[in-house]
């Protein structure tokens, strides 16, 4: 990025609660309609901060306008997905990354076969992990750039002591454009914190459960706890019957010869409950002893289901869905398939990941990472930004805008962070490697990525 572009970004980000931030950020970064201009003029050397889109002041609601003033049906369809989006989060294949997954801990209270080696993994020293203020600052920066969905992962996020206060602070970003605050969990202790999490803004839960048999559960997770997981599921369903509206998905990694016989019992879970069971193809990660022979493919899973439910049919999904969704006629819920190994969904990928130690991963299967932690800590002489350091920064000349102010919370060196993020996103490949290459590729254990 040139000096001209950097100064433009700095003006947008450091304007504080004055006219520039109240005007530029809401219009160009957070409006959910369409942008009318670019902050920086695009030429061959200076990338535009916001891609220029058709200059329409506001999409007309259906039935409004007459004659030549009325929008055609096809035009409305084009405008439906149109929204301003930061060039920093748009890759060279025009994929807009509005979904951020943040690993908030490397620790877990289970030892699932496909996720973590039996002996565990070396954990990062505490000072190398992102602090709560750092997670909030990064979340705010991404939301300011157009991210509308944040998912907290781990490890197991519920083992983080301040998980609820952290969710409260991230949930406050709803007033700045965040729409969904989600959680991926093994459900072991979720039932104890669920009510507080919903109050904090939780909108969706992906719960990992690979078997419905208590003995098999202990075999696959190397720990006991099946009743507690079922208690968490039951509590979500109970809250939903009272109107909580929590989207619930059960994630099941299918492994040949281990739990492939439980596909139909999982499908039965969708008969009377409004939930989605997602069957996941077994994927290779460091230490999980993956082999092609253990992988049960999407087509094999679907064949098993069709043998029992021949009328099962696909349902129309959303543009960026990671799963292929199906429904058995008469059933309340749905089943889905995450087919990363046999039918990748790279072409519509809209996800970025931040690991527990603050590295940005633009692809789950990629081994290229860049540290955002080291950059954000420059404002604190390289030390972790704890609550005390955060308060000190917050008092420095309006460098950080308050959450309840006109713009989202932003770090003093946000423009440098955006430069690094932009480079990483622009280097994202069109698709990940094939099965043969993935099997031999060096990558983190799943527990240290966050899924």
**Residue-level pLDDT at 345:** 67
Same domain, 145 and 80: no
Mark whether 271 and 328 lie in a shared domain: yes
CA dist., res. 120 & res. 108, Å (int)? 9
Residue 341's pLDDT band, with cuts at 50, 70 and 90, is confident
Q: Does 212 score more than 60 pLDDT?
A: yes
pLDDT-based confidence at 12, cuts 50/70/90?
A: very low
> Quick one: 109 and 59 in the same domain?
no
Is 270 a domain residue?
Answer: yes
The whole-number pLDDT of residue 74 equals 55
Question: What distance in Å separates the CA atoms of residue 180 and residue 340, rounded to the nearest whole number?
Answer: 24
Residue 84 pLDDT grade (very low, low, confident, very high; cuts 50, 70, 90): low
**Domain end (from 55, 84, 113):** 84
| Residue 56 belongs to a domain | yes
Ranges 67-81, 204-218, 366-380: which has the least confidence? 67-81
- Residue 340 is predicted with a pLDDT of 79
* Cα 59 from Cα 288, distance rounded (Å): 50
Find the domain containing 4 and state its range. Answer: 1-64+72-84
User: What pTM value is reported for the model?
Assistant: 0.78
How many domains does the chain divide into? Answer: 2
Contacts of 201 (CB under 8 A, 6+ apart): 167, 168, 170, 171, 172, 174, 181
**Is 143 inside a domain boundary?**
yes
pLDDT-derived band at 295, boundaries 50, 70, 90: confident
Higher-scoring residue by pLDDT: 64, 422: 422
pLDDT tens, residue by residue, 320-338: 887 899 999 999 999 999 9
One domain for residues 147 and 197: yes
Burial (CB < 10 A; 0-12, 13-18, 19+), residue 241, is exposed
Lowest mean pLDDT among 174-183, 195-204, 290-299: 290-299
CA–CA–CA angle 154, 160, 161 (5° rounding): 175
Q: Does residue 233 sit in the same domain as residue 140?
A: yes
Across 46-60, 74-88, 386-400, the highest mean pLDDT is recorded for 386-400
Structure tokens at 174: 């709803």
- pLDDT beyond 70 at 240: yes
- According to the model, what pLDDT value does residue 442 have? 56
Look up the CATH number of the domain holding residue 233.
3.20.20.70
In this prediction, residue 121 carries a pLDDT of 80
Residues 187 and 265 in one domain: yes
* 105 and 192 co-located in one domain: yes
Q: What is the pLDDT of residue 130?
A: 98
* Conformational region of residue 381, where left means phi above 0, alpha means psi within -120 to 50, and beta covers everything else: left
Whole-number pLDDT of residue 402: 52
| Average confidence (pLDDT) over 121-145 | 95
Q: How far apart are CA 362 and CA 364, in angstroms?
A: 7
pLDDT given for residue 119 in this prediction: 78
- Which of 93-107, 193-207, 267-281, 382-396 has the lowest average pLDDT? 382-396
Per-residue pLDDT at 85: 84
Contact 250, 207 (CB under 8 A): yes
Those residues whose C-beta lies under 8 Å from the C-beta of residue 169, and which sit 6 or more positions away, are 132, 136, 403
- Mean pLDDT over residues 196-215, rounded? 98
Residues 114 and 152 reside in one and the same domain = yes
pLDDT > 90 in the chain, percent: 59
Same-domain pairing of 217 and 132 = yes
């Amino acid at each position: 990025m040139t000096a001209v572009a950097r100064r433009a970004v700095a003006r947008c980000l450091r304007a504080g609660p004055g006219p520039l931030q109240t005007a530029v950020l809401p219009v160009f970064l957070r409006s959910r309609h369409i942008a009318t201009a670019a902050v920086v003029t695009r030429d061959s050397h200076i990338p535009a901060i916001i891609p220029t889109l058709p200059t329409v002041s506001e999409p007309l609601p259906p039935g409004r306008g007459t004659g030549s003033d009325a929008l055609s049906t096809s035009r409305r369809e084009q405008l439906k997905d149109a929204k301003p989006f930061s060039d920093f989060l748009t890759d060279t294949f025009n994929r807009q990354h509005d979904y951020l997954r943040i690993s908030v801990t490397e620790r877990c209270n289970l030892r699932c076969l496909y996720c973590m080696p039996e002996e565990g993994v070396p954990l990062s020293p505490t000072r190398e992990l992102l602090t709560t203020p750092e997670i909030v600052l990064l979340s705010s920066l991404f939301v300011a750039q157009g991210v509308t969905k944040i998912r907290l992962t781990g490890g197991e996020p519920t083992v983080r002591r301040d998980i609820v206060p952290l969710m409260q602070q991230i949930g406050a970003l709803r007033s700045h454009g965040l729409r969904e605050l989600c959680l991926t969990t093994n459900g072991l202790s979720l039932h104890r914190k669920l009510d507080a999490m919903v109050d904090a803004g939780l909108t969706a839960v992906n719960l990992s459960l690979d078997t419905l048999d208590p003995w098999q559960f202990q075999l696959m997770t190397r720990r006991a706890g099946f009743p507690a997981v079922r208690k968490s599921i039951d509590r979500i369903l109970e809250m939903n019957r009272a109107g909580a509206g929590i989207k619930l998905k059960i994630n099941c990694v299918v492994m040949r010869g281990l739990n492939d016989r439980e596909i139909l019992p999982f499908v039965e879970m969708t008969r009377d409950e409004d939930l989605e069971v997602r069957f996941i193809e077994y994927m290779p990660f460091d230490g999980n002893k993956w082999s092609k022979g253990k992988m049960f493919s999407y087509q094999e899973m679907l064949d098993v289901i069709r043998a029992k439910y021949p009328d099962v049919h696909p349902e129309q999904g959303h543009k960026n869905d990671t799963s292929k969704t199906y429904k058995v006629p008469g059933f309340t819920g749905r089943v889905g398939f995450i087919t990363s190994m046999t039918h990748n969904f790279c072409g519509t990928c809209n996800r970025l990941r931040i690991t527990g130690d603050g590295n940005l991963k633009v692809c789950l299967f990629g081994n290229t990472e860049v540290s955002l932690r080291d950059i954000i800590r420059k404002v604190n002489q390289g030390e972790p930004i704890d609550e005390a350091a955060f308060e000190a920064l917050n008092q420095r000349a309006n460098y950080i805008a308050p959450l309840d102010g006109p713009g989202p919370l932003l770090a003093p060196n946000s423009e440098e962070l955006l430069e690094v993020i932009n480079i990483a996103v622009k280097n994202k490949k069109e698709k990940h490697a094939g099965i043969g290459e993935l099997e031999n590729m060096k990558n983190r254990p799943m527990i240290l990525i966050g899924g």
